[in-house]
Chain A
Amino acid sequence: MALKKLGTLIQKEVSLEWRQRYALNGMLLYIVSTIFICYLNFNLRQNVLTPVVWNTLFWIILMFTAVNTIGKSFAQERQGRLLYFYTVTSPVEIILSKIIYNTFLMLILSLTGFVFYIYVMGNPIGNVALFTAAIVLGSMGFASTLTIVSAIAAKADGNAALMAILSFPLIIPMLLVVVKLAKNAMDDLDVSVSMDEIWVLLSIDAIVMALSLVLFPYIWRS
């Protein structure tokens, strides 16, 4: 029953998105143009792009994309619709559906961004599978952290600057680990070296997810 409700909620998010195609198209354009600017400034002129810069640049682009994309996820809900949800479903289902939907959205955006990034900026990655795993884990982490922050920011009238201020400190630890993991993948280190980072990432994801589920009902009630 709960699962079915969850499915319906996710379906609602998808169809809402499909009707406007705002986030997907807008953010795809955002990520592609950012990468293109990086290409113009780094690669076109001379090869100043060291692997460390390559990696950091990619994750910074992803982070800003995530903040901008997921920042919208609660701001776009109208007051009346929220009130309607309030009567038919529980807050845990709402936040869970949003997290799942945002994870999918982030996965699409970051994987597309990744392909385009490799295309224009060159591919210095040793272990592409591990790097992709880092992207997947990172997208999950970004989505779960930013969804709850977006709910908080939306309560403060969806102030965009507030979204950035609130999310950066919370996302930095995750970003540090994921950049390290991605660097390991680039250097083609053995997977056993990176297991530590993978576990840390998974546990941060789990902690944030659990906290979101517990705390979202308090945010929602107001």
Chain B
Amino acid sequence: MKLSWWKILTLVILTYVLIMGLAGEVPRQAILNETVRNLYFHVTMWFGMVIFLLISLVYAIRYLSSNDIVYDDKSAEFVNIGVLYGIIGFVTGALWGNFTWGSPLPKDPKILSAAIAMLAYFAYLVLRSAFEDEQKRARITSVYNIFAFVIFNVLIFILPRMTDTLHPGQGGNPGFSIYDNDNIMKPVFYPAVIGWTLLGVWIATLRIRLKIVNRTLTNQ
């Protein structure tokens, strides 16, 4: 088995993140306590999700301009992995919120906008299953994908105007860095973002390859 350099990098980073995340030194803070470790797992999921959805958008646009079905495969798989990361983000967030904000689902615009975005991308996946013809499906869902992404971005701008958020760094809340006063979390957090994102890309590329292989087999 031969792994390319970035896959080896993913493994190294994630091993480091898991060890440091579960056993490493973290700041002692009231209320947050040990749950602050969730920073490496919850926040990174949202970073990953946004990156994947952005990649998916780029492929949707490239599909529309080229009509090459492979771009549609890529676009769809990056939505899949983005939705998966979104769900994991919800679960880890609910866990964290349960201990720090006293409720797994507090009223928070960030949670709401994420939930609505998830709805839009679920709708995208449902729409995909409604077509038989590959090219037609690709064209229509690419268009919907672009709409979903734009609306997702609009939401991020709108909802914070409606209510204040509990999340750090917005609505007058200080950024997360004040909890990390000794800068001991950053050396783990930044690699964690890269590591989890690379893992997602890895999963997506595997699924894309599987799809291409399947198509070539059925076409033979």
The residues of A with any CB-CB pair to B shorter than 8 Å are: 148-149, 152, 155-157, 159, 162, 165-166, 168-170, 172-173, 176-177, 180, 196, 200, 204, 207, 211, 215, 218-219, 221-222
Inside 8 A of A204's CB, which chain B residues have their CB? 154
21 CB contacts below 8 A, A to B, read A148-B143, A149-B147, A152-B127, A152-B143, A155-B136, A157-B130, A166-B144, A169-B123, A169-B151, A170-B147, A170-B148, A172-B155, A173-B116, A173-B158, A200-B161, A204-B154, A207-B150, A215-B147, A218-B139, A218-B143, A222-B136
Q: Which positions 15-39 of chain B face chain A at CB distance < 8 Å?
A: none
Q: Does B142 touch A at the CB level, under 8 Å?
A: yes
Q: Is the CB of B194 closer than 8 A to any CB of chain A?
A: no
| B→A interface (CB under 8 Å) | 64, 116-117, 119-120, 123, 126-127, 130-131, 135-136, 139-140, 142-144, 146-148, 150-151, 154-155, 157-159, 161-162
Kindly list chain A residues whose C-beta atoms are within 8 Å of the C-beta of B64. 215, 218
CA distance A165 to B144 in the complex (A): 12
The reply to whether A162 and B127 form a contact with Cβ atoms under 8 Å apart is yes
In the bound assembly, the distance between CA atoms of A159 and B126 in angstroms comes to 12
A222 B154 Cβ-Cβ under 8 A:
no
B143 touches A156 (CB 8 A): no
Q: Which residue of B lies closest to A157 (CB)?
A: B130
Instruction: Given A170-B148, A176-B162, A177-B158, verify A219-B119 contact (CB < 8 Å).
Output: no
CA of A177 to CA of B161 in the docked complex: distance in angstroms?
9
Q: Which residues of A contact B127 (CB under 8 A)?
A: 152, 156, 162, 165-166
A157 to B151, CA, bound (A): 25
List residues of chain A with CB within 8 A of the CB of B161: 196, 200
A169 & B119 in contact (Cβ 8 Å cutoff)? yes
- Residues of chain A within 8 A (CB-CB) of B139 are 218-219, 221-222
| A216 vs chain B, min Cβ distance (A) | 8
Contact pick for A207, options B119, B123, B154, B162, CB 8 Å? B154
Question: Counting chain B CB atoms within 10 Å of each CB, which of A152, A169, A173, A221 scores highest?
Answer: A169
Contact B140–A155 (Cβ < 8 Å): yes
A155 proximity list for chain B (CB < 8 A) = 131, 136, 140
Whether the pair B130, A156 counts as a contact (CB closer than 8 A) is yes
**Told that A169-B117, A169-B123 touch, could you supply 14 new A-B pairs with CB distance under 8 A?**
A148-B147, A162-B126, A162-B127, A165-B123, A165-B127, A168-B119, A170-B147, A172-B116, A173-B151, A177-B158, A215-B143, A218-B139, A222-B139, A222-B140
Contact A156 B151 (CB under 8 A): no
Whether the pair A219, B143 counts as a contact (CB closer than 8 A) is yes
- For residue B156, which residue of chain A has the nearest CB? A173
Q: Which residues on B sit within 8 Å (CB–CB) of A219?
A: 139-140, 143
Q: Which residue of A lies closest to B64 (CB)?
A: A218
- Is A169 a contact of B148 with CB atoms below 8 Å? yes
CB < 8 Å: which of A157, A162, A211 contacts B146? A211
Q: How many Å lie between the Cα of A166 and that of B125 in the bound state?
A: 10
Give Cα A219–Cα B87 distance, bound, in whole angstroms: 30
- Closest B residue to A162 by beta carbon equals B130
**CB distance A222 to B126 under 8 Å?**
no
CB of B114 to closest CB in A, whole Å: 12
Is A215 in contact with B135, judged by CB distance below 8 angstroms?
no
Q: Tell me, in angstroms, the Cα distance from A200 to B155 when the chains sit together.
A: 11
A-B pairs with lowest CB-CB distance, top 10: A169-B120, A156-B130, A169-B119, A215-B143, A222-B136, A165-B123, A173-B155, A155-B140, A166-B123, A170-B151
Give every chain B residue within 8 A of A165 (Cβ-Cβ): 123, 126-127
User: Which chain A residues border B143 with CB–CB below 8 Å?
Assistant: 148, 152, 215, 218-219
